[in-house]
Amino acid sequence: MFKGTKVLDVHGHASAPTAARNWIMGGFSSGYVGASPLRGSRGGGGGGGEEGGGRGANPLSDEAFAEANKRHADYMTERNIDVQIIGPRPFMMMGWMPRHLLQRWCEFTNDTIKKQIDNYPDRMLGATMLPQIAEAPDLSNCLPEYDMCVKEYGFIGTYLSPDPDGRHNSPGMNTGYWDPIYKRISDNNQAIFIHGTNCLDPRIAHIPGNYQVGFVVETFLATRILAYGDQFERFPNLRICIAHGGGALDRFITSSNHRIPRGKDISNNLFFDTCVYDTDYLALMIKQWGPDNVCFGTEAPGSGGAVRQASDNPNQAGVGTTSDNLLPVIDSLTSLSEEDKLKIINKNPMRVFPGFAKALERSPAAATA
């Protein structure tokens, strides 16, 4: 809670037993995976259900998931996060993999997310991972998995990668390639969460965690492509939230023609999360996009595990805690009014992802609007 108001976090990733990652490694080495062992008989195929739907003494058992999910929920509690949207771990989406493995990996990943939200239905909500194929004519192939996750699993949105292959070879997000998902999302009154994934650019192969560089590049490009595109004219109800504050900020003054268009009203379509951990950068990001278009997001637990040091900023809030503990940081920003803070941590996430109401309805305490 934040001053009596529920804290809604748009940016969380799946936590699962180690065996969940090992599952796809068998596919890489053998060239084959069957149906998700967590999906049981659904999904067709075969040769994957011998784990018994995750029950019993096996590395994908209900007990193993419960342990991993509890660590995640406890981490949220320590940071006063009431409800979090859970999507795939982006660097594990691996959209470059062989296409016959990709579909199965998406199904399996969505099944792990479903187990997590089933364990904490009043704390967590699901967002789908989809089998994006860069060379396909469009994203029609993603609709069956999205529809299943919405109708049967109750997921409230979807992740999309601007560059699933990691090779800068996907059509721009303003093109008709993306329209099947844009239409379905709009029809369902849901939202898209844009997050970078893998980066296979050989120029940065020597940089540890180079996928983080890819996140910046791809979310920045997505922001500009969408801001200048006509997709919101084709789908006026489409809502897109971009991770990590949109990747990078404008360096130009507001009167410059190099700045993204200001005469074009996309205030009901394009949003950004607060998942940037440097305090000065966070404050400037909110100032540039405006508090009305910023949603609270932390990725807790994830890449924000470094502990803030007093030497970083003598007046900084949250010193001695991990950098993903963003509530005290946002509360300390003098540029924000109390109303701005409530918009960011509750009202805007609910506006972009109305499905938050599902978890709040299950909560023992009523939500504060």
pLDDT score of 369: 43
pLDDT score of 295: 98
**Dihedral of alpha carbons 180, 183, 188, 193, sign:** positive
Q: Which of 172, 170, 158, 178 minimizes the C-alpha distance to 234?
A: 178
**pLDDT class of 313 with cuts at 50, 70, 90:** low
pLDDT score of 367: 42
CA terminus-to-terminus distance, the chain: 12
**pLDDT class of 52 with cuts at 50, 70, 90:** very low
Q: How many helices (H) and strands (E) does the chain have?
A: 12, 8
Could you say which DSSP state residue 366 is in?
A: P
In this structure, what token pair is assigned to residue 211? 């996928």
Q: Is the pLDDT of residue 181 over 90?
A: yes
* β-strands 157-160, 191-194 pairing: parallel
pLDDT score of 49: 37
Q: Is 341 left (phi over 0), alpha (psi -120 to 50) or beta?
A: alpha
**pLDDT class of 318 with cuts at 50, 70, 90:** confident
Q: What is the mean pLDDT of residues 333-340?
A: 96
Question: By three-state DSSP, how is residue 118 classified?
Answer: helix
In this structure, what token pair is assigned to residue 99? 């296409």
* Residue 184 CA, distance from chain mean position: 18
Question: Secondary structure of 155-209 in the HEC alphabet?
Answer: CCEEEECCCCCCCCCCCCCCCHHHHHHHHHHHHCCCEEEECCCCCCCHHHCCCCC
pLDDT digits (tens, 9 = 90+) for 16-29: 999 998 899 989 99
Question: By three-state DSSP, how is residue 31 classified?
Answer: coil
By the 8 A CB rule, do 367 and 28 touch? no
Q: How far apart are CA 2 and CA 202, in angstroms?
A: 44
Q: Is the pLDDT of residue 288 over 60?
A: yes
Instruction: Give all domains of the chain, ordered by start, each with its CATH number.
Output: 8-16+61-362 (3.20.20.140)
Q: What is the mean pLDDT of residues 193-207?
A: 94
Q: What is the mean pLDDT of residues 349-357?
A: 97
**pLDDT class of 57 with cuts at 50, 70, 90:** low
Tokens 């509360």: give the residue: 331
